[in-house]
Structure 1
């Protein structure tokens, strides 16, 4: 068994997931870093991150899996347990944005988002529930999005909004169910956040920068801004915070 806490981070090849990994690796954590959509670029990015963290002394393993495949979530949790003998925290960050207008969206457009995000979160959280409860201080943090809260003309992400809103509802229900076992469940709700070169983009870099003018702080968040909040929620000081959706959007959704 490894020392410290074991954390599974999904969608860790870039962006917020990678930033969370960099933030918590130095605190005695062992990490299982996940990515989906196995491409040469993602393999390089995930392995480069893992090697950097290993060079700093963190035990790190990597895994690729697509959560719209039946059984994938359970398999990833099983890999964490097989490699580290325990699981203390889950950061459910994997996801994607879809700007398809509702009038142009086929039923499969919505189903794809629900499978890949809402259903994937449900499968991961329920698969991880028993291992997280064993330590008495388990943590689940799901990454939601402002798109489930802000419905402005020209900024709509209809099917993504539905999927992320479902994650938030599940997180609140899970917080009630898991609370007596010492497991907290929260959502972090980022606003516009800068993307890494290997990250999925639904908007151009220029369009993203234009959105800074619509944000009270007049800036786009960096992935590490979000990672700082996630790291806090994973820690002992957040033991009384559960069932919350905490916005980190520069005031975008005020």
Structure 2
């Protein structure tokens, strides 16, 4: 049987692409969304049609009870938890001066703070799981600032904190055989109708300054995550892997 996998922020975009990439016969998935139940249910139905066992959950990750409830649901539904993809997040664009403290607090609540709660609840289960893996979805904004004259200070700070927690966890869980890594996408094309903090014209300008001359697709990120979840990645831990078409080289 495939390891039991929890994916946060799975209704659309990168999260949904990861679920589709690792779904299939024998897959056991817990898929989370903050509020987009229609898209999450449609995805779950499609995965079940392909033979996967899927449990869906809805909850605000900024609420203290949500992350532990996701882990508890995995145990109740499948009897364990071996892989976590922490994907849920929120982009917030602003200049410092316009950025409010509550914007920073909101970014931290849904990203590093939620990740900490999730890992705290999951630790005993990851330590006993075979081939346990954790992948946190970070962003280029934790490494490149002012790309295409756009600033994301709240998201930049939150994603940098997320990476620091993941690296710490990689050291702590290394002796237990658990690999913990981050994937940092560049600009990724959104699903039709999806929320974005970046205007479409700015996205297209960014594609032109990216060495690969295109925006990323959710499937590009999903391929890297699928590898990091696999047995073939057993000697990769504590890393942030950029999947950005060379954006940070520009």
Does TM-score exceed 0.5, indicating one fold?
Answer: yes
Which deviates more from structure 2 when the two are superposed, residues 104-113 or residues 242-251? 104-113
Which deviates more from structure 2 when the two are superposed, residues 100-109 or residues 49-58? 100-109
Which deviates more from structure 2 when the two are superposed, residues 160-169 or residues 127-136? 127-136
Q: CA offset at residue 198 of structure 1?
A: 4.8
**Map of 2:79 onto structure 1:** 85
Counterpart Cα distance in 2 of 1:245 and 1:177: 17
- Secondary structure of the residue that 2:6 maps to in structure 1? strand
Counterpart Cα distance in 2 of 1:55 and 1:22: 12
Alignment size in residue pairs: 248
Contact 1:80/1:87 (<8 A) preserved: yes
1:49-71 deviation digits (Å, cap 9, x = unpaired): 00000001000110001111112
Which deviates more from structure 2 when the two are superposed, residues 120-129 or residues 7-16? 120-129
- Secondary structure of the residue that 1:203 maps to in structure 2? coil
Matched, 1:12 2:4: no
Structure 1: which 5+ residue stretches go unaligned? none
Which deviates more from structure 2 when the two are superposed, residues 58-67 or residues 205-214? 205-214
Matched, 1:159 2:157: no
Say what the alpha-carbon RMSD is for the aligned residues: 1.1
TM-score by length of 2: 0.96
Aligned pair partner of 1:23 in 21, 26, 29: 21
Counterpart Cα distance in 1 of 2:75 and 2:171: 25
Counterpart Cα distance in 1 of 2:125 and 2:90: 27
Change (3 A) 1:183 1:27: farther
**Map of 1:123 onto structure 2:** 117
Which aligned pairs between 1:107-146 and structure 2 lie closer than 5 A?
107-146=101-140
Q: CA offset at residue 27 of structure 1?
A: 6.1
Q: CA offset at residue 203 of structure 1?
A: 1.1
Aligned pair partner of 1:48 in 29, 42, 46: 42
Counterpart Cα distance in 1 of 2:139 and 2:194: 16
TM-score by length of 1: 0.95
